[in-house]
Structure 1
């Protein structure tokens, strides 16, 4: 591709990704990036697209960039396919691309919780901020992207400050606790095991405590972290290798580790499940990739829920909540319009300034040449000015300005036979076809 062709691409905000709206859990769990692995992923992505932010949560993987929109989609597709070893044809069925205002509005919706599986959940703001921070510290964020994300974070905070979306809405942790409570008719007499002590594990443990459970068991690869979380809520901890053994005695399991494979497999859990003799056990897997083998749902008494099941149980039909969603959507649209208006005016101001600066450069250069020629001319005498010669030089001077200013635009017009752009140029310069 020539330099001229590259210069003609439109630079804009571009979003490429997939989410729970376009891809099932089977695909999403194959292309997730934990925060601790983000730098490695960004290193790999540098070969495809620069100045970008990669967001990876349970429900989405998205790449935001300020780049050549005609190339961004194919480059991100190449990156995802190569990095996660997923067939391109499979990905193309689930990827979406948004540019310009659509990209801006989408990010505002994501950060505001409006695009989440559980609408209104508040964790997404912190998750996006964390991933942005890592990309920014690494030098992956340019001026335009920085301004976009800062405005998005401000919009997310504004939604939570000026609406009651958090009050009436749900979160993954609250929904998980609600499912367990409803399935067992209360948790006061139930034993609950939480696997994982990350942000999700801590939030769900707190939600279970609020729901009334008095017996919380915490398991984590690092025993000290399990002890800390259990002690904070008056619970107990167990060694990580005792998880499967404990399945025979607990009533609820909620798992949220960052393990790349199953923590509870059919093989390892079979004996403990069989000992229950059909006694109900609620398993809620809020990890992506999944922690619990889906085949366990076939066992008698096992009620297994994955991330994709949570939305059905979020209880978001409250009219008051619907009102808050409407308020939030209107706020996002307004903030999008304000950002785009500001951004477009900034682009226009810079363009006008650049045009005047370029014209001034040409004028100064040609005026200098003309004055130098006249003053250094043997025939020049301030008292005996040759009017004809002066007119000729000024005519040449003005013609040189025209030639220099229009050289690049005319070259472009000749190389691009585009009637629409030709009509646009005619309007700019008030040209009459007749």
Structure 2
């Protein structure tokens, strides 16, 4: 029962295509169930991040048939050029999984977030009883290989996460960070790490806004900041220097129409917007 992988990533598809395939984590259980019902996949794991969407699957049937079914499942009612997809079969699919887990296939080489994201995707598939011997063995080996690579090589040296890259960018825009205020819109894992990285480099304070008031309050407490209503974050705009936006909204949260009048409140001081959402905020 060979493993196959069908996917698209930052190399094969621009962000306007990737955002069409963004899969909300809360919907993954029903998507996994639908995938196994509508295709010949007997085992499956769905990985969805800002930079990639991949399906790892195994079936007793012909790999070509399974790949065709996975392609049709992902395309559904989306109208995109199917050349954005890559197809991998057998050893190539497993090798690719190892590269993804190790950060060797990431936009930021060696970044660490992808391993956690892959573990979450695998754990969800386990809970849904969507994996079996083939995928379990391959994923466990991939996790072990990723740990070994990070332990025995220098791949983690330098900026190996979106958070670190954002901090470097902020350092180039602002002479100093110790008098800067950060706003986090959407309290996801990567935005939290980015806010923590900025605070560790001296950022003055952080404001958190999220659709879930409870999540905003919890993250604000962890970061030593304050929470504001998702519908009222503009009230803090005059004090903000850096915005990290990572919501799951299907529409723009920050657009020119909204930002231009708000910039006047800030007397047109420099503002760094870090959009790590897919679909874009």
**2:146 corresponds to which residue?**
156
Q: 2:182, 2:195 within 8 Å by CA — same for their partners in 1?
A: no
CA distance in 1, matches of 2:66, 2:7: 11
Structure 2 gap ranges (5+): none
For residues 231-271 of structure 1, the C-alpha deviation after alignment (integer angstroms, 9 at most, x for no partner) is 33332222211223333331111111222222223333332
CA distance in 1, matches of 2:161, 2:153: 16
Q: 1:13, 1:64 within 8 Å by CA — same for their partners in 2?
A: yes
Mapping for residues 285-304 of structure 1, pairs under 5 Å: 285-291=275-281
Instruction: Give the one of 223, 237, 240 matched to 1:233.
Output: 223
Mapping for residues 159-170 of structure 1, pairs under 5 Å: 159-170=149-160
Aligned length: 277
Q: 2:243, 2:272 within 8 Å by CA — same for their partners in 1?
A: yes
Instruction: Give the one of 41, 52, 69 matched to 1:60.
Output: 52
Larger Rg: 1
> Closer, same or farther in 2 for the Cα pair 1:91/1:146, shift >3 Å?
farther
> Closer, same or farther in 2 for the Cα pair 1:180/1:263, shift >3 Å?
same
**1:335 corresponds to which residue?**
none
Instruction: Give the one of 172, 176, 192 matched to 1:182.
Output: 172
**TM-fit CA distance, 1:73:** 2.2
**TM-fit CA distance, 1:201:** 2.2
Bigger strand fraction: 2
**TM-fit CA distance, 1:154:** 0.9
Q: 1:197, 1:226 within 8 Å by CA — same for their partners in 2?
A: yes
CA distance in 1, matches of 2:27, 2:256: 28
Instruction: Give the one of 105, 110, 121 matched to 1:120.
Output: 110
**TM-fit CA distance, 1:277:** 4.3
Instruction: Give the one of 12, 17, 20 matched to 2:7.
Output: 17
**2:75 corresponds to which residue?**
81
CA distance in 2, matches of 1:97, 1:205: 36
2:193 alignment partner, SS class: helix
**2:161 corresponds to which residue?**
171
Q: 1:244, 1:268 within 8 Å by CA — same for their partners in 2?
A: no
Q: 1:227, 1:237 within 8 Å by CA — same for their partners in 2?
A: yes
CA distance in 2, matches of 1:180, 1:122: 20
Mapping for residues 31-430 of structure 1, pairs under 5 Å: 31-46=21-36, 47-50=38-41, 51-67=43-59, 68-82=62-76, 85-87=77-79, 90-291=80-281
Q: 1:246, 1:272 within 8 Å by CA — same for their partners in 2?
A: no
**TM-fit CA distance, 1:169:** 4.1
TM-score for the superposition, normalised by structure 2: 0.92
Q: 2:237, 2:265 within 8 Å by CA — same for their partners in 1?
A: no
Moved more, 275-284 or 36-45: 275-284
CA distance in 2, matches of 1:49, 1:283: 44
Q: 2:183, 2:206 within 8 Å by CA — same for their partners in 1?
A: yes
2:184 alignment partner, SS class: strand
Q: 1:45, 1:79 within 8 Å by CA — same for their partners in 2?
A: yes
CA distance in 2, matches of 1:232, 1:55: 28
TM-score for the superposition, normalised by structure 1: 0.61
Structure 1 gap ranges (5+): 1-10, 292-434
CA distance in 2, matches of 1:154, 1:79: 31
